[in-house]
Amino acid sequence: MMSMQGTVKAVCISDVRGTQKRDVQTADLRTGWGVSNDAHAGDWHRQVSLLSYDRIQEFNSRGADVEFGDFGENLVVEGIDFRSLPVGTRLMCGEVILEITQIGKECHTHCRIYHKMGDCIMPREGVFACVIQGGSITVGDMMEVHEQVDMRLRAAVITLSDKGASGQREDQSGPVVRSILEKAGYAVVEQLLLADDREKLESELCNLCDRRCVDLIVTTGGTGFSARDMTPEATMAVANRNAPGIAEAIRAYSLTITKRAMLSRAVSVIRGSTLIVNLPGSPRAAEEGLTYVLPHLEHGIQILRGDAAECALTENRTGG
């Protein structure tokens, strides 16, 4: 990665979510939390939002007339093109260490900037980070870009279950899948429990592929004949390319255990540089299937990854 550094131009916070932030010039950042006194801080992956000063200036040259914080960003930095950096990149500013966790965001409702300009740069130019090491950041401080530190493959686990999502049943498959992945050396950055909702699943898959830039998504559940079982349809809907051999291999292996494996409709596909694999909802079946194919997936994932920087530059993004 090319060495890059920039200058902090604004440090912004807001008291209430969904409102514009204001430039307070200096703020303390808490490890694992975010910017102190900011409404968006918390124990999640989007603790700090960053936007390039240069992109704001370009947008203003089109007549936008936005001020620091109007996009909801915490830090505005001149000289660093955040959009070009891959997830996992570390940013250092004095004693503060940030790690980029998401590129861009999905806008569910258009802001006043969009209504005025017909465009908003935050969904595609903004990035989000977690605070690895806290400290103080002040306008005028220098920020440096450092290489990605954690080189493990990044994975996400999604369990589809109406009863699980409503609290009527404990999710056992998700934890089993996560444990197998972690023992194999994957960094599991997200574990979700969703109802059997096709639209919601498609949205989460797109977000994990396009913005979180995970290498592997494993779903469990929703692959049977029930009218609510729509996981394969949602998975195929977001795919750029099919990768049927993985699902076929799981079915073939499972057939040696139970003939009912022929009833599985699970699929395996590629979106951008992310591999998505469906598993059955049964904890035992999920464990058997994933254990069988996982040792062979890394080669394919490495081919998809190519240069890690390509993740931040993929054309397969949605939102806006």
Closest CA to 296 of 253, 232, 235: 253
Is this model's pTM higher than 0.75 or not? yes
Q: Is the model more confident about 106 or about 317?
A: 106
Q: Is the model more confident about 142 or about 148?
A: 142
The answer on pLDDT for 43 being more than 50 is yes
The answer on pLDDT for 320 being more than 80 is no
The answer on pLDDT for 66 being more than 90 is no
Confidence of residue 120 (pLDDT cuts 50, 70, 90): confident
| pLDDT score at 123 | 78
Closest CA to 55 of 6, 126, 112, 119: 126
Query: Average pLDDT of the chain?
Result: 91
Mode of pairing for the β-strands spanning 26-30 and 34-35:
antiparallel
The answer on pLDDT for 65 being more than 50 is yes
Dist CA 108 CA 188 (whole Å): 26
Q: What average pLDDT score do residues 137-152 get? A: 92
Domains of the chain: 4-146 (2.40.33.20), 154-311 (3.40.980.10)
Structure token digits, residue 286: 């999920």
* CB-based burial label for 111 (10 Å; 0-12, 13-18, 19+): middle
Output b/e per residue, 118-153; b: 16+ Cβ within 10 A: eebbbbbbbbbbbbbebeebebebebebeebeeeeb
